[in-house]
Structure 1
Amino acid sequence: MAGGIRTKQRLSDTVAQALQEDILGLTTGDRLPTEAELVERFGVSRTVVREATRLLVQRGLAIVSPGRGMTVAAVDGSVIAEQYGLLLRLGGGSFEELMELRLVLEVEMAALAAARRTPAQLAELNRLNERLQAADPTGKEFLEADLTFHERIAEASGNPFFLLMMRPVNTFLADTYSTGAGYPSEAGHTVQEHLEIARAIEAGNPARARFAAEDHLRRIARHRSLFTKK
């Protein structure tokens, strides 16, 4: 029995790997072969195909929906976000350690954005800061403008891996602030710090952008620590 299970697992891994290679050549929303077609193609049972499908869904590469079957999923970092949440809930990491990750990523990300940003990206950063200034600091719009600002800096860095990391970080932060004790923004400081980051990026000054981003994130980490102790 045990040997049979191992064989089945190897077959499903082989099928999943072959389909993964197919997916790399497709685009989001493209349909993948039906269960019957996969059974015929690989010469395996429906059980093996279903296990392979489960693996692809688990990896965030495919979506299974009624009427459409299996299609190529958008790689949006949602699987990574889920892992962040599980890690924190299971005590494998703390909010402070997540802030350490943000410091490592976002400080250099801001410096790269200062060197690489386009006029359209700069205009978007300024638009988000205007939205931030106009929003109620206790409302959802303020939080959305805040987190989106950091995501747009990731885009402006010109490095797609930064964006892939920032989206799940922002998803987790939004969930944490929405369901936890609230958003400890210190709104006045957040607005001014965002303005300084944007000015540094607009000036094309990586050193200044790096300093402004680090100052902003370290202040948030300090305030979060004080906020959670109250």
Structure 2
Amino acid sequence: MDIKKQQNPVYESVAKQITELIKSGELQQGDKLPSERNLAEKFKVSRSSVREAIKALVHKNLVESKRGDGTYICAHIDADIIEAFTEAFADQKKRLSDIFQFRKVIEPQIAALAAISIDDETLNRMKVIVCNQEIRIRSGQGAGDLDTEFHLEIAKASGNSIFPDMMEALSKIIKESRSQSLQNTTRLQKSMTAHFDLLKAFEKHDSALAQKIMRQHIEDVESAATGSDSL
């Protein structure tokens, strides 16, 4: 099965499928998991996605990693724990979908208003944020806080005082769609390209273009985060 067709984060899909193998009995308690490389080939994903999936399973006490030996299915796993873990993935899938639906409804319109109202000072501040974001990404550092700051600046530039208040209040929820575990090189590059394109639209005060770029940006991020694209 190609899990990239599943509508939830890739590492969660991997973790869910491993859980299903345990539930079905194909993997028994005490069994050693195949290597990261073999699992990556089996599920057609990157080894980093497999690594994140194993971390999630370790956290839920479904598997245990033994240094220098490998990862094993924990002994004496309660069937109710496996069932609850499987249900939790379904809840996470729905929550992530709801977050992106919210962003697609709200943020394109905020960007459209920002393009009309933005001043040079705000635009220059945004440019600094985006440039710093690019520097961090190129050096392999996380830049989620700058991503949040950039989108908040757009809300402030809209000229509507409610939007930045709303974005700040919901920042913890929206942060889930920017989780470091959902990051990959292609997603980050697409995000940076979209941010630079938004800056150009703001410079031109092109409301329709800003709205279009923001919507496509969020759709691209959603595809990369859920594994529904071909990346």
Specify the SS of the correspondent of 1:139.
Answer: coil
Describe the superposition over 1:127-160 as per-residue Cα deviations: whole angstroms up to 9, x where unpaired. 11111110136533x1111111101000000111
Task: Please list, as runs of the form range in 1=range in 2, the aligned pairs for 1:136-155 lying within 5 A after superposition.
Answer: 136=137, 139-140=141-142, 142-155=143-156
Partner of 2:201: 200
For the structure 1 residues 212 and 103, does the alpha-carbon distance in structure 2 shift closer, same or farther, using more than 3 Å as the test?
same
Unmatched 5+ stretches in structure 2: 1-87
- Residue 225 of structure 1 deviates from its aligned partner by 1.1
- Residue 224 of structure 1 deviates from its aligned partner by 1.1
- Residue 222 of structure 1 deviates from its aligned partner by 1.0
Give the residue type in structure 2 aligned to 1:108.
Q
Which whole-Å CA distance do the structure 1 matches of 2:176 and 2:97 have between them?
A: 16
Which whole-Å CA distance do the structure 2 matches of 1:119 and 1:177 have between them?
A: 28
Give the residue type in structure 2 aligned to 1:187.
L
For the structure 1 residues 167 and 90, does the alpha-carbon distance in structure 2 shift closer, same or farther, using more than 3 Å as the test?
farther
Specify the SS of the correspondent of 2:98.
Answer: helix
Which whole-Å CA distance do the structure 1 matches of 2:227 and 2:209 have between them?
A: 27
Which whole-Å CA distance do the structure 1 matches of 2:106 and 2:150 have between them?
A: 15
Instruction: Calculate the TM-score normalised by the size of structure 1.
Output: 0.54
For the structure 1 residues 177 and 111, does the alpha-carbon distance in structure 2 shift closer, same or farther, using more than 3 Å as the test?
closer
- Are the aligned partners of 1:114 and 1:206 in contact in 2 as well (CA < 8 Å)? yes
- Are the aligned partners of 1:125 and 1:152 in contact in 2 as well (CA < 8 Å)? yes
Q: Which runs of 4+ in 1 moved over 6 A?
A: none
Partner of 2:181: 181
Which whole-Å CA distance do the structure 2 matches of 1:145 and 1:112 have between them?
A: 21
- Residue 169 of structure 1 deviates from its aligned partner by 3.1
Higher Cα radius of gyration: 1
Which whole-Å CA distance do the structure 2 matches of 1:195 and 1:136 have between them?
A: 14
Describe the superposition over 1:84-106 as per-residue Cα deviations: whole angstroms up to 9, x where unpaired. xxxx9994951111111111111
Give the residue type in structure 2 aligned to 1:146.
D
Describe the superposition over 1:58-113 as per-residue Cα deviations: whole angstroms up to 9, x where unpaired. xxxxxxxxxxxxxxxxxxxxxxxxxxxxxx99949511111111111110000000
- Are the aligned partners of 2:156 and 2:164 in contact in 1 as well (CA < 8 Å)? yes
- Residue 173 of structure 1 deviates from its aligned partner by 3.7
Instruction: Calculate the TM-score normalised by the size of structure 2.
Output: 0.54
Which whole-Å CA distance do the structure 2 matches of 1:110 and 1:226 have between them?
A: 26
> Structure 1 stretch 115-124 or stretch 169-178: which is displaced more?
169-178
Which whole-Å CA distance do the structure 2 matches of 1:168 and 1:124 have between them?
A: 22
Aligned residues: 140
Partner of 1:117: 118
For the structure 1 residues 226 and 90, does the alpha-carbon distance in structure 2 shift closer, same or farther, using more than 3 Å as the test?
closer
Partner of 1:35: none
Which whole-Å CA distance do the structure 1 matches of 2:91 and 2:196 have between them?
A: 35
- Are the aligned partners of 1:105 and 1:162 in contact in 2 as well (CA < 8 Å)? no
- Are the aligned partners of 1:110 and 1:153 in contact in 2 as well (CA < 8 Å)? yes
Give the residue type in structure 1 aligned to 2:183.
Y
Give the residue type in structure 1 aligned to 2:154.
I
Partner of 1:51: none
Describe the superposition over 1:29-56 as per-residue Cα deviations: whole angstroms up to 9, x where unpaired. xxxxxxxxxxxxxxxxxxxxxxxxxxxx
Partner of 2:170: 169
- Residue 216 of structure 1 deviates from its aligned partner by 0.3
Unmatched 5+ stretches in structure 1: 1-87
- Are the aligned partners of 2:182 and 2:225 in contact in 1 as well (CA < 8 Å)? no
- Are the aligned partners of 2:198 and 2:210 in contact in 1 as well (CA < 8 Å)? yes
Give the residue type in structure 2 aligned to 1:94.
R
Give identity over the alignment, percent.
20
